């Protein structure tokens, strides 16, 4: 199986390999010069510095909201971002949850999606998160399914 490296990773790999080969050849020539001058020193292991192209983390981690012990009697809202056929899987997940928790209330994604689209026509798209939060509070959402593993 052949893997393609991103251009940056390939450039870093090439730089490191070329740098290692140059250091190795310089070390050999130094060893040769020392040995010809009558010096019998043990070869010195080179030390390399490595810098991660990912950088330092900039996101401050926060604690998560405590999870419910059960979904029985709770209202679960579903949201779909129109990826990976959630129009098929979210209804199946809802039915499975109803079988396991008979008193659960499922708010299907079309109700949430239609309300967000109607509200976002009136507001800039940057406000969609606030619209979604207000809508979930209005629906009495106790839990949210916002994806299906796609």
pTM: predicted TM-score of the whole model, two decimal places:
0.53
CB 86 within 8 A of CB 147: yes
Confidence of residue 142 (pLDDT cuts 50, 70, 90): very high
CB 31 within 8 A of CB 43: yes
Q: Token match 């490296």: residue?
A: 5
C-alpha span between 114 and 133 (Å, rounded): 14
Q: What is the pLDDT of residues 109-127, one digit of tens each?
A: 888 877 766 655 555 566 7
Task: Give me the residue spans of the domains in the chain.
Answer: 1-59, 75-145
CB 117 within 8 A of CB 135: no
Q: What is the pLDDT of residues 42-68, one digit of tens each?
A: 788 888 888 888 888 788 888 988 889
């Amino acid at each position: 199986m052949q893997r393609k490296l991103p251009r940056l990773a390939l450039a870093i790999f090439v730089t490191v390999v070329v740098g290692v080969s140059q250091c190795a050849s310089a070390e050999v020539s130094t060893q040769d010069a020392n040995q010809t001058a009558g010096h019998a020193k043990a070869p010195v292991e080179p030390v390399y510095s490595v810098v991660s192209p990912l950088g330092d983390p900039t996101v401050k981690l926060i604690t998560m909201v405590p999870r419910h012990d059960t979904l029985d009697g709770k209202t679960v809202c579903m949201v779909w971002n129109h990826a990976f056929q959630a129009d098929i899987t979210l209804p199946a997940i809802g039915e499975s949850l109803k079988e396991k928790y008979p008193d659960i209330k499922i708010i299907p994604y079309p109700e949430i999606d239609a309300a967000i689209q109607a509200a976002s026509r009136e507001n800039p798209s940057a406000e969609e998160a606030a619209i979604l939060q207000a809508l979930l509070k209005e629906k009495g959402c106790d839990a949210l399914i916002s994806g299906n593993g796609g």
